[in-house]
Structure 1
Amino acid sequence: MFGLGPMELTIILIIILIIFGAGRLPEIGSGIGKGIRNFKKSVSETENEKIADEKKDDKKDDA
């Protein structure tokens, strides 16, 4: 994963704890999770639209 080992991830987590504090971590994690979910949803919708457009083009070519 991006060439990061367990030690590097631990150091990053400690730095995040120092900057934001333990109380805000669940809030930050929730926000990141929602952002990732929305991104995946957008990508999926875009792919579905592209597939639908290709099917329409194929039907036009057959007619």
Structure 2
Amino acid sequence: MGGFSPIHIIIVLLLVVLLFGAGRVSTLMGDVAKGIKSFKKGMAEEDDAPRRIADERPLDARPIPPASPPPAEAAAPVTPPPAATPDPDRHA
């Protein structure tokens, strides 16, 4: 009660073959197998990615020092303009 017996599985398989035909079922199963194989290949490539990145890194991996700015030329001293004295002849 409630479980699948071997006779249930056989009946379901016969109904699938009758509905879709033997050629269509074999094509469908082949597509499923290709999908599973592609999935496994993708998972294996994902697992290998960190190892490949580590292998591609150069052995002499010294950090490159940051470029220093070019030396600034000595700036000429800036002299402030002389303070303006008020003109006594001018009236505001």
The interval holding the TM-score normalised by the smaller chain is: 0.5 to 0.7
Structure 1 residues 12 and 48, CA gap change in structure 2 (3 angstroms): farther
Measured on the aligned residues, the alpha-carbon RMSD in Å equals 2.9
List gaps (5 residues or longer) in structure 1: 57-62
List gaps (5 residues or longer) in structure 2: 55-61, 63-92
Displaced runs of 4+ in structure 1, greater than 6 A? none
Rg larger in structure: 2
Q: Larger RCO: Structure 1 or Structure 2 (Cα < 8 Å, ≥ 6 residues apart)?
A: 1
Q: Corresponding residue for 2:25?
A: 25
What is the alpha-carbon distance in structure 1 between the residues aligned to residue 5 and residue 34 of structure 2? Answer: 26
What is the alpha-carbon distance in structure 2 between the residues aligned to residue 4 and residue 38 of structure 1? Answer: 31
Q: Percent of pairs identical after alignment?
A: 30
Question: Which one has the bigger helix percentage?
Answer: 1
Q: Corresponding residue for 1:9?
A: 9
Give the alignment's TM-score, normalised by structure 2. Answer: 0.43
